[in-house]
Structure 1
Amino acid sequence: MPHAHDNSIIISGEALPVIDMPIHDHWREAADRRGFDITARVADRYALALTCRQCGKLSRTRLFVLMHHQPRCSHCIEAAWRQEAAAAGLTFQRRDPASTAYAWYRLPCGHDARRQIGLITRVAAGETGLRCATCQEAVEAAEARAVGWELVGPDPAGDTNYREYRHISCSHQQRIARGNVKSQRFDCAGCGVTWTAAPSFIYLFRVLLPSGMRVLKLGFSKNPRSRLQHQLLGDGDLACHVLRVVAMPSGHDAIRTEKGLHTSLRRRFPDAVIDAKDFAGALTVVTEVYAEWLEAEIQQLLDGIEDDSDDDGA
C-alpha cells in the first residue's frame, strides 16, 4: 500500500499528501508531450501533481487522464476566464462550486452576479449583452411607482413580458405587461374603470417620414403622448410633433367621434389619404394617415368638436 510522508503539496488551496511511489519514465514522457512536468504522486496511487509549463502552477490530474487525454491546467483556464470577463467589462470573482459551467462576476454597476461562463465568452466577443438583474428590478420598480403601482415580482404564469404588480391606492395585485406599465395603457382590475368609460383624447400629430414627406396622424388615445412615444413610431428617430389634443369624456365618445372624422375626411378628401406603403416601417399603423395640406381642415373639425364639448359642459 502506498503511504504518505509528513510532507504535502498545496494545490488550489488543498493540502494533498505526497505518496512515496515511483514515477515511471513513460508517464514523464506523456506529461512532457502535453506541456507538463510530473512533480509528485499525491493523495492516492492514481493521482499526480503536474506543473504547467505555461503558468508554472500545480494542478491535480488523474493518471488515466494524463496517459489518454490532454490535461487542462485549472489556473490557465481561470486566467482565460478573467481575461474574458475583463473584455466584457466585468471582474471575475470566483468559480461556482455548485456547477463547472457557472462563475461569479462583479458587474460594472458593482453588483455580483452568477452567470454562465459561456455567456461571458459571448459578451466578450460582442455577440450579446449583459444586464444586472438587481439594477433592472430597480428600473422596473421605478417605472411602476411613477404610475402608482409597486413591483411585486416576476409573472406567476412565467411570461417574461409580464410582471406582478400591486396598485398602491387599493392594494389590488395583478399581472401586467411591462410595456403597458411603461406606456400606461392598462387599468386596475380592482378599482379602475375600463378604457371605454375613462376620459380619453382625440389627437393630431405631424410626422416627418424618412422620405422627407410630412404627414398627419389623426387618432384617439387615453394617453396621446404615451401613444406617440411607445406605440405609434416604428422608427424612434422620426421627428414628430403634437399639433392638437382634444379632451373627450370617455373612450367610447373618443372612438365614436374619431370614426366620424375619418369617414368624413375620406369621403370629402380621398386624395389626402396616404397609402400605407408610403409610411411602412416608419409608423406602426396602416390607416388614418393624411397629407399635410389637410391640416387646416382637420383643425377646423377639431374646433367644432371642442366647441360642442364646451357647450355640453356649460
Structure 2
Amino acid sequence: MTHHTRLPSAVLVDGASHLVFPLAPDPSWPAIAEAKGFDLITRVTDRYRCVLRCHACGTKAVVRINVLRDHQPLCHGCIYQRRATAALALGAELIAADAGSRHYGHSRLRCGHVVRRQYLRVEKAAAGGHAIDCEACREIRYGTEARHFGWTLDGPARGRRPGYRSYRHGCGHAQDVSIGNMAWGDASCGACAQNWAGKPSYVYLFKIDLPGLPVVKMGYSARPAKRLRHQLGIARGVRTEILRVMLLSSGNAAVREESACHRAMRERHAHLIVPKPMFGDAINTQGRCDPCQPAIQYLGLGR
C-alpha cells in the first residue's frame, strides 16, 4: 500500500513561498480588492495577511488585511515599471534597487557609468525634460575645460567648497578655482600671475565707529590703508582704525583665508554678525560686519 504525504498549499510571491492560511477570506474582501485594482487570491502565513494580484501588471504581493480594508495597496511591479520608464526617458536603464535605502536605485547611463539616484528626482527629471548627470563624465569635462587654459584638474577643492575644484597650473602651483570661472578661463595663478591674484596681499581687520553701531570689518586688500580711507565710502567724521593686518603670499591666498574666516564666523559665532541692512550705505561693501566690542574681545584685541 502506497502512502502519500499531503503538503500544505503555498503561493509563490516574488520568488518566496508563502503557506496558505486555512481560513477563508471575509466575503467582502474580494469586492474591496476589485475596487482598488487587485484580485484577492487567498490568505497566507496567518490570519492577518493575504495575497493580491494587480489588475494592471499581474504582479502578486503579500499585503496585510488592514491595508487592504483601510488603505490603497501599492503594486511594487507597477512602481518599478514607472521608475524604469522614467529612467529610460532620460536615456538610462534602471538596473537595481539600492540596498541601503528604498528611496534610491542604481541606473546605467548612456556613457556606461552606473549612478545612484533618488527615484523621485529621476521621475521629476523625466517629467521636466532634464538629464541625469554623470559624476565621472562631469569630472572628465572639468579636466578638459581646464586643459584649454593651461591647467589640470587635481581633484576636490581643498576647502571642500561646493562649486570649486583644485586645479594645478602649468607652473606647478595648485589652488581652488570656481568651476564656472575655469570653464571660461577666468582664473589667475596665485603663484605666477602678474596681477592681484599673484601679488602679495593682506587680510585686514578694521574698526569703524559708526554712530550708534561701532563695528569691525574683515576683508582682503593689497593696500589696506587705501581700502579703509578711500574705497569704503565712510563719512569723514567717522573714526576708523586698522586693528590688524596679515600679509599673505598672494591675493589668491588672501581670498581663501578671508573666506575661511567668514565661514568660521557664520558657523560658530553667527550672533556676532551685523548684516548689511543694519549699516546700509554707511560702509561701501556688499558683505557684513561684526559688532565692535564683542568681536574685539573674542579675537583677543582688547586694550
Name the counterpart of 1:86: 88
Question: What is the rounded CA distance, in whole Å, between the counterparts of 1:197 and 1:85 in structure 2?
Answer: 45
Structure 1 contact 154–160 (Cα < 8 Å) conserved: no
Aligned length: 192
Q: Which runs of 5+ in 1 are unaligned?
A: 199-314
Structure 1 contact 7–17 (Cα < 8 Å) conserved: yes
Moved over 4 A (4+): none
Name the counterpart of 2:55: 53
Shift of residue 168, structure 1, vs aligned partner:
6.0
Shift of residue 68, structure 1, vs aligned partner:
0.1
| 1:140-219 to 2 correspondences below 5 Å | 140-167=142-169, 169-170=171-172, 172-189=173-190, 191-195=191-195
Question: What is the rounded CA distance, in whole Å, between the counterparts of 2:120 and 2:165 in structure 1?
Answer: 28
Question: What is the rounded CA distance, in whole Å, between the counterparts of 2:154 and 2:45 in structure 1?
Answer: 51
Aligned residue identity for 1:84: A
Aligned residue identity for 1:52: C
> Cα 1:196–1:32, aligned 2, differ >3 Å: closer, same or farther?
closer
Structure 1 contact 104–113 (Cα < 8 Å) conserved: yes
Structure 1 contact 85–120 (Cα < 8 Å) conserved: yes
What is the SS of the residue equivalent to 1:103? Answer: strand
Q: Which runs of 5+ in 2 are unaligned?
A: 1-6, 199-303
Q: Deviations over 1:6-49 (max 9, x none)?
A: 54333223333333333221222321221212222233332211
Name the counterpart of 2:138: 136
Name the counterpart of 1:219: none
Question: What is the rounded CA distance, in whole Å, between the counterparts of 1:128 and 1:139 in structure 2?
Answer: 18
Name the counterpart of 2:25: 23
Structure 1 contact 148–169 (Cα < 8 Å) conserved: no
What is the SS of the residue equivalent to 1:125? Answer: helix
Q: Deviations over 1:144-197 (max 9, x none)?
A: 344444323333444332112244653x432111233233333333x4234269
Shift of residue 136, structure 1, vs aligned partner:
0.7
Shift of residue 132, structure 1, vs aligned partner:
1.4
Question: What is the rounded CA distance, in whole Å, between the counterparts of 2:192 and 2:8 in structure 1?
Answer: 77
Name the counterpart of 2:13: 11
Structure 1 contact 89–107 (Cα < 8 Å) conserved: yes
TM-score normalised by L of structure 1: 0.54
Aligned residue identity for 1:54: A
Name the counterpart of 1:37: 39
Q: CA RMSD in A?
A: 2.6
Name the counterpart of 2:301: none
Name the counterpart of 1:120: 122
> Cα 1:88–1:184, aligned 2, differ >3 Å: closer, same or farther?
closer
> Cα 1:28–1:196, aligned 2, differ >3 Å: closer, same or farther?
closer
Structure 2 contact 49–62 (Cα < 8 Å) conserved: yes
Question: What is the rounded CA distance, in whole Å, between the counterparts of 1:131 and 1:184 in structure 2?
Answer: 23
Question: What is the rounded CA distance, in whole Å, between the counterparts of 2:44 and 2:105 in structure 1?
Answer: 27
Shift of residue 140, structure 1, vs aligned partner:
0.8
Is the aligned partner of 1:69 residue 2:68?
Answer: no
What is the SS of the residue equivalent to 1:43? Answer: coil
Question: What is the rounded CA distance, in whole Å, between the counterparts of 1:176 and 1:56 in structure 2?
Answer: 54
Structure 1 contact 180–186 (Cα < 8 Å) conserved: yes
Aligned residue identity for 1:81: R
Name the counterpart of 2:275: none
Question: What is the rounded CA distance, in whole Å, between the counterparts of 2:197 and 2:52 in structure 1?
Answer: 77
Identity %, equivalent residues: 33
Question: What is the rounded CA distance, in whole Å, between the counterparts of 1:15 and 1:102 in structure 2?
Answer: 27
> Cα 1:57–1:26, aligned 2, differ >3 Å: closer, same or farther?
same
> Cα 1:13–1:196, aligned 2, differ >3 Å: closer, same or farther?
same
Question: What is the rounded CA distance, in whole Å, between the counterparts of 2:58 and 2:196 in structure 1?
Answer: 74
Structure 2 contact 188–197 (Cα < 8 Å) conserved: no
Shift of residue 118, structure 1, vs aligned partner:
1.9
